[in-house]
A and B are shown apart, each in its own frame.
Chain A
C-alpha cells in the first residue's frame, strides 16, 4: 500500500522533479498522508520544487521561510490555509498577478489570482485548510502552468 502511494506521489511530482531539485520520497509520502498540510510542509513542497531547498528537511524549509520573513508569525506545525499557501506560491514562482494582486500583494489577492488561473478550485474557501495531497495537487498544477513547463 505504502509503495503504491509512493509511486502515486512520484508520478504526480514527475514534472516538478524535472524542474527543480530532488525531493525526499519519505518526506513526500509523509506529506501526502497528512490530514492537514502544515506550514513547514507547505514550505518544504514549495522551496524544494522551486529549487531553493535541495536535499533539505521540513524544518530547514521552515527556517528558510522564517529567514525570508514569509512565516507570518506562524508555528511550523500550524495548519496551512488555502490563501496562505496561494501567497507562498505567488512569491516563490513567477505567477501572473492581477491589478490588485500587484498593488496590494497578500493572501487575499494571491488566492483569487490562483482561482482565476484554474490552479485552485473556484468554489473553495480561502480560509480552509488543505490536506497534504491537496497541497501536492495544487503545486503540480502551478508547476505545469509555468512558462518553462510549456511545450
Chain B
C-alpha cells in the first residue's frame, strides 16, 4: 500500500496543522560535452513536494523521479544509449525554532531528517544530503552548531559521497542500491563581527567509514573561516582546512585554502568576484573530501592536487534574472596526474589550462525558470598532449512549477 497518502492524511489530522501545501515541479536538464570525451545527457525530473506547518514546526517532503539518458557517441543517433529511472526521497525533514528566556537568552533552530549539508568552506569538504539531526544555537554575537548524519540510506545513483577510492568505485556501480555508509558529525562555533566587522567561524568535522578495516578511510577536518565587508564596497571570505585521513595502511595530512574578494556595483546589479582555492595532501589520492566539488566547471577536476583562480562577473538588472561570465585558470599542486584525458604522464608543468564560460538564469514568472551554462576548456600543451582537443560544455535547465 502506498504510504504517501497515509502520511498526508495523518499530517492533515494532526493537532496544530494549519495547512498542507504541495506542488509538482517538472524539470528538463539537457547537457552536451564535446572534446576529448564526448557526452550527451538528458534528465527529465518530476519533483513532488509537500509542506505542512506543525505546531510551530515545519515538515517538508520532496520526492523526485528521474529518467536520465546518456550516450558518449554523438555521431550515431540512439547508439549506446544508457537510460536509467530513479525514484528518490530528496528531502524528508522536520524543523523548528525555539528561544530561551523569551528570546533574551538566545534562540536555536533544529532540524531532523534528510537534508542538505554544506561545510564551512562552502562545499569543498561536504556538499551532500544526509539523514541526521542538527541544532544551531544563537546567543548575542555567538553561534554554536552541532550535527550528525548518516549517508548509508541515500540512493547510490544520486549519492555524492566519494571519500575514498572504494566510495568512488561504488559511485559507478549501478548494481548498488544504497550509497557508501559513512557517519558524519560536526561541531561549529562562530562569532559575528568578532573584529573589524569580520565574522569568525571554526568547525570540526569528522567522518567514520563503516567499510571493512582494509577498505575503510576515516577522516577529520578542522576549518577556520573569516568573512565580512571591506572598505570601498568590497567583501571578503577566507577559509582554510587542515585534514587528517586514516586508511588501514597510512595516515595522510592535507590542506585546503581559499580566498574570495567580491565587489558590488549599483549599476545593473553588477557583481565581480575574484576567488582562488588550492589543495595539497600527502599520498597518491591527494586531498580527499567526504563529498566535495570539482574546482572547475567544464572539465571535472577534483580538489585532490588542484588549484584554481577564477574571475566572475555577473549582472542582475531585474529581479529573477542573472547573467554572468567567468574565466578560470586551473593548476595542479603536485606532479601526480589528475584524472583528465590527454594529460602527459611525464609533464612537470603546473598550469593545466584555462576555462571560460557564461551562465545565467531567468525566472519570468512564479512558475517557469530557465537556466543556462556554457564553457570551454583550453588545455595548456605543456601539461597536455598537443593533440588534446578543446572541451566544450553546454547545459540548459527548464523548470515548470505546477
Given known pairs A118-B319, A125-B53, the reply for A99 and B19 (CB within 8 Å) is: no
| A146 → chain B closest CB, angstroms | 16
Given known pairs A100-B402, A116-B363, A118-B319, the reply for A125 and B368 (CB within 8 Å) is: no
The distance in angstroms between the C-alpha atoms of A117 and B367, with both chains bound, is: 12
Interface check A128, CB cutoff 8 A: yes
Q: Which residue of A lies closest to B21 (CB)?
A: A126
**Contact yes or no, B366 A112, CB < 8 A:** yes
Interface check B18, CB cutoff 8 A: yes
The one of A98, A126, A128 that contacts B366, using a Cβ cutoff of 8 Å: A98
Count of chain B residues near A, Cβ 8 A:
15
The distance in angstroms between the C-alpha atoms of A117 and B365, with both chains bound, is: 9
| B25 → chain A closest CB, angstroms | 12
The distance in angstroms between the C-alpha atoms of A64 and B401, with both chains bound, is: 34
**Contact yes or no, B367 A112, CB < 8 A:** yes
Which residues from chain A contact B402 at a C-beta distance below 8 Å? 100
The distance in angstroms between the C-alpha atoms of A54 and B319, with both chains bound, is: 35
The distance in angstroms between the C-alpha atoms of A96 and B320, with both chains bound, is: 14
Q: Which residue of B lies closest to A115 (CB)?
A: B366
Interface check A63, CB cutoff 8 A: no
Q: Which of B339-374 contact A (CB under 8 A)?
A: 363, 365-368
Which residues from chain B contact A106 at a C-beta distance below 8 Å? none
The one of A109, A117, A128 that contacts B19, using a Cβ cutoff of 8 Å: A128
**Contact yes or no, B366 A116, CB < 8 A:** yes
Given known pairs A100-B402, A118-B319, A125-B53, the reply for A113 and B366 (CB within 8 Å) is: yes
Q: Which residue of A lies closest to B365 (CB)?
A: A98
Q: Which of B35-67 contact A (CB under 8 A)?
A: 53
The distance in angstroms between the C-alpha atoms of A96 and B365, with both chains bound, is: 8
Interface check A21, CB cutoff 8 A: no
The one of B18, B319, B367, B368 that contacts A127, using a Cβ cutoff of 8 Å: B18
Which residues from chain B contact A126 at a C-beta distance below 8 Å? 19, 21
The distance in angstroms between the C-alpha atoms of A112 and B366, with both chains bound, is: 6
**Contact yes or no, B21 A127, CB < 8 A:** yes
Which residues from chain A contact B366 at a C-beta distance below 8 Å? 98, 100-101, 109, 112-113, 115-117
Q: Which of B375-402 contact A (CB under 8 A)?
A: 400-402
Q: Which of A55-108 contact B (CB under 8 A)?
A: 96-101
Given known pairs A100-B402, A118-B319, the reply for A127 and B365 (CB within 8 Å) is: no
Given known pairs A99-B368, A100-B402, A118-B319, the reply for A125 and B19 (CB within 8 Å) is: yes
Q: Which residue of B lies closest to A104 (CB)?
A: B402
The distance in angstroms between the C-alpha atoms of A128 and B18, with both chains bound, is: 6
**Contact yes or no, B367 A99, CB < 8 A:** yes
Q: Which residue of B lies closest to A96 (CB)?
A: B365
**Contact yes or no, A99 B365, CB < 8 A:** yes
| A90 → chain B closest CB, angstroms | 12
| A98 → chain B closest CB, angstroms | 4
**Contact yes or no, B21 A100, CB < 8 A:** no
The distance in angstroms between the C-alpha atoms of A103 and B216, with both chains bound, is: 55
Q: Which residue of B lies closest to A110 (CB)?
A: B366
Which residues from chain B contact A116 at a C-beta distance below 8 Å? 320, 363, 365-366
The distance in angstroms between the C-alpha atoms of A126 and B50, with both chains bound, is: 13
Which residues from chain A contact B401 at a C-beta distance below 8 Å? 100, 112
Q: Which residue of A lies closest to B400 (CB)?
A: A99
The distance in angstroms between the C-alpha atoms of A44 and B312, with both chains bound, is: 50
**Contact yes or no, B53 A98, CB < 8 A:** no
Q: Which residue of B lies closest to A118 (CB)?
A: B319
Which residues from chain A contact B19 at a C-beta distance below 8 Å? 125-128
The distance in angstroms between the C-alpha atoms of A99 and B20, with both chains bound, is: 23
The distance in angstroms between the C-alpha atoms of A101 and B367, with both chains bound, is: 9
Q: Which of A104-148 contact B (CB under 8 A)?
A: 109, 112-113, 115-118, 125-128
| A125 → chain B closest CB, angstroms | 5
Which residues from chain A contact B365 at a C-beta distance below 8 Å? 96-99, 101, 113, 116
Q: Which residue of A lies closest to B20 (CB)?
A: A127
**Residue picked from B21, B363, B367, most chain A C-beta under 10 Å:** B367
The distance in angstroms between the C-alpha atoms of A117 and B402, with both chains bound, is: 17
12 contacts between A and B (CB under 8 A): A97-B365, A98-B367, A98-B368, A100-B401, A100-B402, A101-B365, A101-B366, A115-B366, A116-B320, A118-B319, A127-B18, A127-B21
- Give A contacts to B, CB under 8 Å: 96-101, 109, 112-113, 115-118, 125-128
A-B pairs with lowest CB-CB distance, top 5: A127-B19, A116-B366, A98-B365, A98-B366, A98-B367
- Give B contacts to A, CB under 8 Å: 18-21, 53, 319-320, 363, 365-368, 400-402
Q: A113-B366, A127-B20 are in contact. List 4 more A-B contacts (CB 8 A).
A: A98-B366, A99-B368, A101-B365, A128-B53
